[in-house]
Amino acid sequence: MEDTELIENEAQREAETAQDSHALYEIKMKFLGRTGKVTALLKNMREIEADKRPAFGKRVNDLRESLERKFALLEEKLKKRELERRLAAEEIDVTVPGRRFKPGALHPVTRVRDKLVDLFAGIGFEVFEGPEIEDQYYNFTALNTPEDHPARDMQDTFYLSNGFLLRTQTSAGQIRVMESRKPPIKIVSPGRVFRSDDDATHSPMFHQMEGLVVDRGITLCDLSGMLDEFARAMFTKETKTRLRPSYFPFTEPSVEVDVSCFSCGGKGCPLCKGTGWIEVLGAGMVNRKVLKNCGIDPDEYSGFAFGLGLERIAMLKYGINNIKLLTENDVRFLAQFKD
Ligand code: FA5
């Protein structure tokens, strides 16, 4: 009986020292757990005289119940305190302004390329990406460019060792496609090209996009219709195109393609230098010799090709007056192009 009192006092004292619910649980187990002190009292029952056992049993059960109540009360108190502390620590002021997230923007040349690829993919073109390092055959010879053509000069072309060069035009990819596939062929080929060129509208590294269609019965009318589609999608719905005779060794006939000035609608303004037209690309019917070089019978098949400068289109579309701005990567400049 004395033991029960001692244990009760001890449990009470210890329980009050518990700093948190976990410590309290440990103390509770020390007294009320399976191997706890109160449980141990019951195990000693046999050593007690038989007539005193019921009273002792009742006393131990009362003790157990009383301790359980005390622990429960303390536990509730501690848990409440813990919750209050946690809520205070995790308090969030939802009125504090958030950190501003500055999203990047796509480069204007990337925008133009993506828009063109989307447009041409929508009318059935596949995308082909040729290598940036080419040899004379793909970049010039197979494209019917004579040995003494000025484009082959060191002043125009960056030569590497062993007869390799940095491609000067995406037209080199035309040959790779025609060599490896049978018509019908319908591809666009965007990519970087390199020329020894440097002024406000010319850069030593720039981007072109080549287009090539080869099939039975392809005519200049197909090219013209497709270009109208391109001009309307790229500039405005009212934009028109016109073809002017030109010369490229790999097309015959060759044309330069102008679009009606989308700034003044064709009346004449500084952008179109008063002419109402802006030149945007070179094109033509694939030269019979080029088809033959690639093993395609020019009596059976014909095709058209076109090549445009992506920087040129971006500069026109966004009113950029110096090509250098496109490679300086000044964030203040780039951040202006959102659509
Ligand atoms: C060609 O490169 C031909 N391969 C295009 C072609 C393809 C014709 C298929 C016929 C059939 P050209 O040298 O004109 O053509 O270049 C095409 C475009 O690239 C030009 O209209 C211009 O927009 C752009 N360009 C040329 N040189 C530079 C340069 N240094 N910097 C930026 N853009 C340039």
Query: CATH number of the domain that 119 lies in?
Result: 3.30.930.10
| Residue 55, pLDDT score | 87
Q: Is residue 103 part of a domain?
A: no
Q: 25 and 168 in one domain?
A: no
Residue 251 CB less than 6 A away from ligand 1: yes
DSSP code per residue over 288-330: HHHHHHTT--TTT-EEEEEEEEHHHHHHHHHT---TTHHHH--
Whether residues 317 and 277 share a domain: the answer is: yes
Q: For residue 260, is it within any domain?
A: yes
pLDDT of residue 199: 86
pTM: 0.73
Q: Which residues of 50-59 are buried (b: 16+ CB within 10 A; e: fewer)?
A: eeeeeebeeb
Q: Are residues 205 and 288 in the same domain?
A: yes
307 and 247 in a single domain? The answer is: yes
Indicate whether residue 287 lines ligand 1 (CB < 6 A): no
Q: Is the pLDDT of residue 41 over 90?
A: no
User: Same domain for 46 and 188?
Assistant: no
- Give the 3-state secondary structure of residue 304: strand
Domain range holding 287?
Answer: 108-337
Q: How confident is the model at residue 339 (pLDDT cuts 50, 70, 90)?
A: low
Q: Is residue 188 part of a domain?
A: yes
Average per-residue pLDDT in the chain? 91
Q: Note whether residue 98 is domain-resident.
A: no
In a domain, 67, yes or no: yes
Give yes or no for residue 338 having a pLDDT over 80.
no
Cβ atoms of residues 156 and 150 within 8 Å: yes
| Proportion of the chain above pLDDT 70, given as a percent | 99
Q: What residue has token string 């966004």?
A: 318
Please classify residue 339 by burial: count the beta carbons closer than 10 Å to its beta carbon, then call 0-12 exposed, 13-18 middle and 19+ buried.
exposed
Hey, whose CA ends up nearest to atom 28 of ligand 1? 202
Which of 109, 116, 160 shows the shortest CA–CA distance to 139? Answer: 160
User: Same domain for 113 and 181?
Assistant: yes
**What is residue 235's predicted lDDT score, i.e. its pLDDT?**
86
Spacing, Cα 182 to ligand 1 middle (Å)? 27
In whole angstroms, give the CA distance from residue 237 to residue 168: 32
> Does residue 166 carry a pLDDT above 90?
yes
The pLDDT, as a whole number, for residue 39 is 86
Tell whether 24 and 137 lie within a shared domain.
Answer: no
Residue 167: closest CA among 200, 198, 199, 189: 189
Q: How many angstroms does the Cα of residue 209 sit away from the middle of ligand 1?
A: 9
Band of the pLDDT at 53, cuts 50, 70, 90?
confident
Between 306 and 42, name the one with better pLDDT: 306
Q: What is the pLDDT of residue 167?
A: 97
Does 132 lie in the same domain as 48?
no
Contact 168, 139 (CB under 8 A): yes
H or E segment at 91?
Answer: none
Q: Ligand 1, residue 174: give the atom nearest the CA.
A: 9
Q: Report yes or no: 188 and 127 within 8 Å, Cβ to Cβ.
A: yes
Position 148 scores a pLDDT of 86
C-alpha–C-alpha distance, residues 60 and 37, integer Å = 11
Taking each helix axis from N to C end, the angle separating 108-122 and 310-318, rounded to the nearest 10 degrees, works out to 110
Question: Any residues with CB less than 8 A from the CB of 22 and at least 6 apart, and which?
Answer: none
pLDDT per residue as tens digits for the range 176-197: 999 999 999 999 999 999 999 8
Instruction: Check whether residue 44 and residue 112 sit in a common domain.
Output: no
Asked if residue 59 and residue 164 are part of one domain, the reply reads no
Last residue of a domain, one of 58, 89, 120: 89
Mutation to probe ligand 1, out of 281, 285, 286, 327 (largest number of atoms < 8 A from CB) = 281
What is the mean predicted confidence (pLDDT) over 235-264?
Answer: 91
User: Of ligand 1's atoms, which has the minimum distance to the CA of residue 279?
Assistant: 21
Query: In this structure, are residues 128 and 188 in contact, taking their beta carbons and an 8 Å threshold?
Result: yes
Radius of gyration for the chain, computed over Cα atoms and rounded to the nearest angstrom: 42
Amino acid present at 206? F
pLDDT given for residue 179 in this prediction: 95
- Look at the chain and report how many structural domains it folds into: 2
Query: What value does the mean pLDDT take over residues 145-165?
Result: 88
Residue nearest to atom 6 of ligand 1 (CA): 307
Q: For residue 173, name the pLDDT band (cuts at 50, 70, 90).
A: very high
Residues 189 and 326 placed together within one structural domain of the fold: yes
**Ligand 1 and 307: CB distance under 6 A:** yes
Given 62, 89, 116, the domain boundary residue is 89
3-class secondary structure, 131: coil
Task: For residue 78, tell me if it sits in a domain.
Answer: yes
Indicate the pLDDT class of residue 215, thresholds 50, 70 and 90.
Answer: very high
Among residues 34, 37, 44, which one has the least CA distance to residue 14?
Answer: 37
66 in a structural domain: yes
Q: Are residues 119 and 63 in the same domain?
A: no
25 pLDDT tier (thresholds 50, 70, 90): very high
Q: Given 89, 118, 140, which residue is the final one in a domain?
A: 89
